[in-house]
Structure 1
Amino acid sequence: MRFFSKQILVDQHGKATNFKLHSLEFPHMRALHFAWFSFMVAFMSWYAIPPIVVHIAKDLDIAPVEIYDANMVSVAITILARLVIGPLCERFGPRRVMCSVLLLGAIPCGMTGLISNGTGLIVIRAIIGILGGAFVPCQFWTTQMFAPSVVATANSLSAGWGNMGAGVTYLLMPAIYDGIAVRTGDAIAWRVTFVVPAGICIVVAIMDYLFATDTPHGDWLVLRQQELEKNQRGSDIDDTTRNSSNSIASIETPEQKLEKGFIVTTGTAHEVHAKGTSDDESIADVRRSQSIGETLVTFGKVFCKPAVLIMIIHYACSLGVELAIDNVIGEVFREHFNLDPSTAAYIGSIFGLLNLFSRLCGGLLSDALAKRFHLSGRILAHLSLMCLEGLFLIGFSFGLSTNLPSAVVLMVFFSFFVQAVCGSTFGIVPFIDPLNNGKVMGMVGAGGNIGGIIFNLMFRQFQPNFESAFLCLGCIALGAGIAGNLLLRVQDKTIWHLFDGRYA
């Protein structure tokens, strides 16, 4: 796979089959770069408080239990945000939804300096939690722009670089705070610091709206209007015309076309028969014209699919673990190795910054094995990475009892696999129910936040005994990875198909 190609190659639906990372070429590469950068800015602002919360707690006399409660509500509110944002992406497109999330989240982020007690901290972190919903339009955007053969790489790259926001905030916020504190004092410095991430969110939202588009074929709402008009024309055709060979392609629904084995891209004239192609090509475009009632009914049906439930659990064991550790990693090193807050924060930033390549590696492995084993290969990649995640989390639980260099090395390994599993998860998600991708992505994304709440509670109960907390995390991830992947079925493919001789 070439990341620095001279030109973008597209399939028959206009989706890119390669990358040109060094450019902002419209529309594919611009959408990719805007997607990951928007999510990174959102993530940075979402987690702007933990790196300097020790200064806030000291100034306002906030109890540790209130800090943990604030950590949990910031993750909890994102569950609702992601569930709502998924269908909104299907209706209004990823670009407008991303802009809205950034603008709405920037307001409470900039107002963080107005809090005066622990309750205020909890409330403001809950409202800021809407920024965590930016993950859904990020993934939805790249899924619209890139072909099935590289969609896992595109999704993992955009989400992984976006998740770097957790590491960036651990570098940026203490630096901003220290720079301001030299001139104003601690009490004013932390209050002013939050204006910076809020302002960045606003600027990026404006850039998204003005300089990018939703799909290779143009603006989402224009395509949605075309789909509505096409459906209306189709409903006016009588039964005789409906059955004629030259008109059926223009009036069939995406579901009907998918059942007949067609690859569907709404809003384009291209149509290719998918029978005899690889499993990874069996991906259709979402429906843009569902009514609210249809959306609610479909939402329930999608949620009940076993593959969706398994992916929710697996994302809880990957992103959920990451979110929980983002909140405490600085404290873990500060408490165990008697480090000052800034030094502990800088070490903790390594955990988030590894998203530069770790999540991408999960997507690359998923796409690589898919070329040989199709969807069964994606499941194999996912299983392997989850097992390694669990084993290294268990190893880190013992490494905390050794020395600082050993603990840092083990943190690098377990964080790599935690984030790689996020990438392999979204190497599978676009194939579970392509016609309802927004809903599936919203549900699975929300699953990550549910895991974040559960594991934040775990850290709260175990602290300061972090060794036991990481041991439990490792065992849970290992068990869920083995059991879930052995049961997972996507488009009638399981990991067991690797052993039936068809890929020999």
Structure 2
Amino acid sequence: MSNTSADFKFFSFGDRFKVLHLTWMAFFVSFLVWFNHAPLLVVIQEQLALSDQQIKTLLILNVALTIPARIIVGMLVDSYGPRTIYSVLLAITGGLCLFFSLARSFEALALARFLLGFAGAGFVIGIRMISEWFPARQLGLAEGMYKGLGNIGSAAAAISLPALALWFGGENGWRYATGATGILAFVYAAIYYLSVRDTPAGSTYFKPNKSGGLAVTSKRDFALYLLTNIPMFAAMALLAWKVEALQLISAQVLYCIYAALVVLYLLQCRKLFAINKEVIATPVNELYQYKFKQVMILSLAYAVTFGAELAVVSMLPMFFQNTFAVPVALAGVFGACFAAVDMASCPSGGWISDNFGRKRSLTILLTGAAIGFFIMASIDDSWPIALAVAAMMCSSFFLGSAAGCVFAMVPLIRRSLTGQIAGIVGAYGNIGAVVFLTVFSLVDTSTFFLTIAIGIALAAAASMLMDAPQDTLIEVMPDGSVQRIPVH
């Protein structure tokens, strides 16, 4: 075991730590913009006379585009570099945020929230940036710091924007508050572009030889890649079904959406075949191969960890209020504790992965999270509330730590494809949230927790099939030369 934290000077602002701080702040701003509407929905509903169904639609639309956006942004990052793509993303979302703040109709609000789903793709960009600047022995801790601190953006929105709207005052207070976050995104886009580089001086930024889709290295992996894409389209179909269930679109429109998704999937398969046809025709030397099963297993692990986090945070206050008859404010505090522990545990999971082995750490932490949710499934009003809160917080720790482990491993698969791989894995986090929230809408709370536990247990079993990361990564340069990148 190596001491990875001895020279990890988090409060330093030199070289790679400057990049870490500027990048987690970029993630923070993107999440602040992405969730700037949530704490102001009551005011927005009153000002624009929106129905409850329209508010629910805005919440759905806010996450609908994030799944494909993370895939697209991952490709762009690998091709053009995180510095440029993060700056462009922040500038675009800043403009969309101003559009949202000026909206006078539900249709305009809905379009703005749908397009702002792109802000959620900012997470993928930082994963590639951090992997370029930190050695593998510190990568888990650095990625965990990035994820944990950036996630606070949503909490910052919940705390600050209502107060900011009151400070501006008047019926347009919410407009000024949300618009201010858009201006912040504009300003930070310029700061980020002028303050960072894609790689340390003298380092090579490895780019994929082909763009438009992930390049795999075997026929089997190509088949697995096509299979992995199906849940992404299925999740978007599920979101469309939820919108139709709210009676906001007709059954005919829903069927048209289903047909469009099938056509898009087939077109994507055709594009991916064009990118990988050489691999299908001629086997790749084993020396240059990477195993796509690593991507699949990490995607599953992130679906059940981050997906469970988003789903549980949204329902936990109501669970404590209904189960233990506590006041609304106290139930909210319990829910906030789950989110706070989860965010703080991401760096812990990265550090554990750096020091105790990537594969073993992921399996153990997933197992701990599964046990925690099996225990939570048995909570009822006969439990001491302190014991229920303790079980909830322990489950949250294992959940967040396992998520931190996932992104300690993502950059160690293939350096030139890190953005695309992070996009796939990150998209699965949103897929997990959609699935778990749909389950929650159909079953009681105990069954909901049990479903999460079973999902995490399956991911823990799958993690045992992973291969431990190699000592070096193989990258093939555009000129055909081979470069070995040490990862220890």
TM-score range, shorter chain: 0.7 to 0.9
Q: Which residue does the alignment assign to 1:287?
A: 206
Residue 190 of structure 1: how far off its partner (Å): 3.1
Identify the range of structure 1 (196-205 vs 379-388) with the bigger mean alpha-carbon deviation: 196-205
Q: Which amino acid aligns with 1:388?
A: G
* Partner Cα distance (2:445, 2:99) in 1: 32
Residues 1:212 and 2:200 aligned together = no
Aligned-residue CA RMSD (Å): 3.1
Q: Which residue does the alignment assign to 1:42?
A: 30
Q: Which residue does the alignment assign to 1:197?
A: 181
Deviations 1:221-249 (A, max 9, x none): xxxxxxxxxxxxxxxxxxxxxxxxxxxxx
Residue pair 2:75, 2:211 contacting (<8 A) in 1 also: no
Alignment of structure 1 residues 258-273 onto 2, 5 Å: 266=204
Residue 81 of structure 1: how far off its partner (Å): 1.2
Residue pair 2:343, 2:400 contacting (<8 A) in 1 also: no
Alignment of structure 1 residues 309-458 onto 2, 5 Å: 309-329=296-316, 332=319, 337=325, 339-340=327-328, 347-370=334-357, 378-399=358-379, 401=381, 407-458=388-439
Q: Which amino acid aligns with 2:410?
A: V
Q: Which residue does the alignment assign to 2:235?
A: none
* Partner Cα distance (1:114, 1:344) in 2: 34
* Partner Cα distance (2:32, 2:215) in 1: 35
Identify the range of structure 1 (129-138 vs 194-203) with the bigger mean alpha-carbon deviation: 194-203
Residue pair 1:106, 1:201 contacting (<8 A) in 2 also: yes
Deviations 1:85-121 (A, max 9, x none): 1121111111111111111122223333444566555
* Partner Cα distance (1:168, 1:106) in 2: 17
Residues 1:171 and 2:90 aligned together = no
Q: Which residue does the alignment assign to 2:258?
A: none
Residue pair 1:40, 1:165 contacting (<8 A) in 2 also: yes
Deviations 1:155-189 (A, max 9, x none): 11111211222332332234334555xx43xx543
Which of 301, 307, 311 in structure 1 is aligned with 2:294?
307
Alignment of structure 1 residues 152-167 onto 2, 5 Å: 152-167=140-155
* Partner Cα distance (1:31, 1:400) in 2: 46
* Partner Cα distance (1:54, 1:65) in 2: 13
Alpha carbons of 1:214 and 1:297: their partners in 2 closer, same or farther (altered >3 Å)?
closer
Please give the secondary structure, in 1, of the residue aligned with 2:467.
Answer: coil
Alpha carbons of 1:454 and 1:168: their partners in 2 closer, same or farther (altered >3 Å)?
same
Q: Which amino acid aligns with 1:363?
A: G
Deviations 1:31-61 (A, max 9, x none): 1111111112211221222334344345555
* Partner Cα distance (1:433, 1:486) in 2: 20
Q: Which amino acid aligns with 2:370?
A: G
Percent identical? 26
Q: Which residue does the alignment assign to 1:251?
A: none
Aligned residue pair count: 398
The unaligned stretches of length 5 or more in structure 1 are 6-17, 219-264, 267-285, 371-377, 494-504
Normalised by the length of structure 2, the TM-score is 0.72
Normalised by the length of structure 1, the TM-score is 0.70
Residue 308 of structure 1: how far off its partner (Å): 1.1
Alpha carbons of 1:23 and 1:410: their partners in 2 closer, same or farther (altered >3 Å)?
same
Alpha carbons of 1:84 and 1:210: their partners in 2 closer, same or farther (altered >3 Å)?
same
Alpha carbons of 1:491 and 1:146: their partners in 2 closer, same or farther (altered >3 Å)?
closer
Alpha carbons of 1:2 and 1:364: their partners in 2 closer, same or farther (altered >3 Å)?
closer
Q: Computing the radius of gyration over CA atoms, which structure comes out larger, 1 or 2? A: 1
Residue pair 1:166, 1:352 contacting (<8 A) in 2 also: no
